[in-house]
Structure 1
Amino acid sequence: MDEDLVLALRLQEEWNLTVPERARAQEPLSLVDASWELVDPTPDLQALFVQFNDRFFWGQLEAVEVKWSKRMTLCAGICTYEGKGGMCSIRLSEPLLKLRPRKDLVETLLHEMIHAYLFVTNNDKDREGHGPEFCKHMHRINRLTGANITIYHTFHDEVDEYRRHWWRCNGPCQFRKPYYGYVKRATNRAPSANDYWWAEHQNTCGGTYIKIKEPENYSKKGKGKTKLAAAEKKDKPNGVVPFSGKGHVLGESSPSSGKLKTQDLLSQDHSAKGVRLNSKIEFSKKDFVF
């Protein structure tokens, strides 16, 4: 065989081996690839939203607002709507997602963006429903990105981490599944008639909720703040200078409170008398002008 042909075949084989490697190197990383945890562990939320809107939702979500929520601790994300054809807003829980990998942030954001897309295009406001349309877009994006968007994204461990105020009922419901009388909350809000289930609890149990757990030094911190505020208020000058005299009453030419006793005049020197007399004359002039 001709040496040139042999060389050409060998070069072709080497080329064929290198092309797939180059093609794989040029392929973009999956949105949930583990390497993102090192490359960009805390991505910018607004930048992600703009990128996903262009790539997966055909730019239909430009009027949708996305922001972090520092107070939302029961769910990772929520999509809300205001009125017919009104504003659509996506809120993500900063307390919950900051404890999770980047992958969970991406999948939670995409989940809520699907809800927003269905609202913008179909006026679908059913946040709890994950029907055929939602699942269609969920599976489409999962296939394109390798993500694992699911119907629910409640992180139980993280939610429990923020529920540090505990109450337990002393009635019969403390022996019943599934809660055994426990109520756990992220805020110091005791069970009361404001809870939708309160009437049923009163009818079926009738027990009293007693607080059994709270964050360490929570009560002391509250008392300390109260004492500190009271001390600051006590030490702070009120800016009012007390006036012990009775003052001059309009319409009275010689108020009894303003009369000078003869003994007082005799006990003072001449200059002091002059000052008092001048002051009295000047005061009278002011009263006259007034």
Structure 2
Amino acid sequence: MTSMPHYRSLQAELETLTTEAFRPELAEIDRLPTLEIARLMNGEDATVPAAVAARLPQIAAAIDAIADRMARGGRLVYAGAGTAGRLGVLDASECPPTFNTDPSEVVGLIAGGPSAMVTSIEGAEDSKELAAGDLAGLGLRADDTVVGVSASGRTPYAIGAVEYARARGALTVGLSCNSDSALAAAADHGIEIVAGPELLTGSTRLKAGTAQKLVLNMLSTITMIRLGKTYGNLMVDVRASNEKLRARSRRIVALATGAADEEIERALAATDGEVKNAILTILGGVDGPTAARLLEESDGHLRAALAAAPR
């Protein structure tokens, strides 16, 4: 049971956080018309991109470091509790279909395990040891990157993940929504997106959650661009696992090459449906096996493979 002095200390700490600040001007929000509440909420959300923009240099530096590690075979691991953990799991789960990554390459850890995605696991976020155990279970390596995510910047699970990873030589990033956070201080790269107090006091699934989602989008997407998972702004490593994605694959090949439908179908058939390989067979004038070899030699970078093609 939490002692009264500890409770008061925690309460005092929360009162210093921007994400927990009370806004007296919104104290009557429940009495407003629905449309006015929606306008207020939309206006609050509109401030988030500017808060992210203020930290673009730190975000870019973290991405370059992550990409360097992943190019050597490292993994990208998100670790957080509650909303922050769910956002990390979401971003990780979208990388395989979008960039054809193996599920082990980008991993989302949430305090309390998979069941915490839909159910609050009491006390899980308060354990640094739980984070260390989760990372130990992954067999964390020096080429890996661990991104601790916490709106408050004080969540023990996120801080514990960063501390464990840094002690083992892995790259660490601390993403929070308060200035001078313990999480950012513990990490190699601290990213603090201060979007201000929430519409509902302390409800960090709102602006803080949006800010974290925007940054996670950047971390994974731009890292994959750096790793050659795109050709221009085309998702050439997309995994065609359903009819919609198969149609998207054909469209991507068409946009990249300008080829006729028949030629696109032949190229995809010759490369087992691999979009990047199909583009290379058309633009590079090579067969399927040659395209595969050129891409392997260029570490999957289509532009480099095209430059090395005989044509």
TM-score category, normalised to shorter length: under 0.3
With normalisation by structure 1, the TM-score equals 0.24
Identify which of structures 1 and 2 has the higher relative contact order when contacts are C-alpha pairs closer than 8 Å and 6+ apart: 2
Q: Which has the higher helix share?
A: 2
Flag the structure with larger Rg: 1
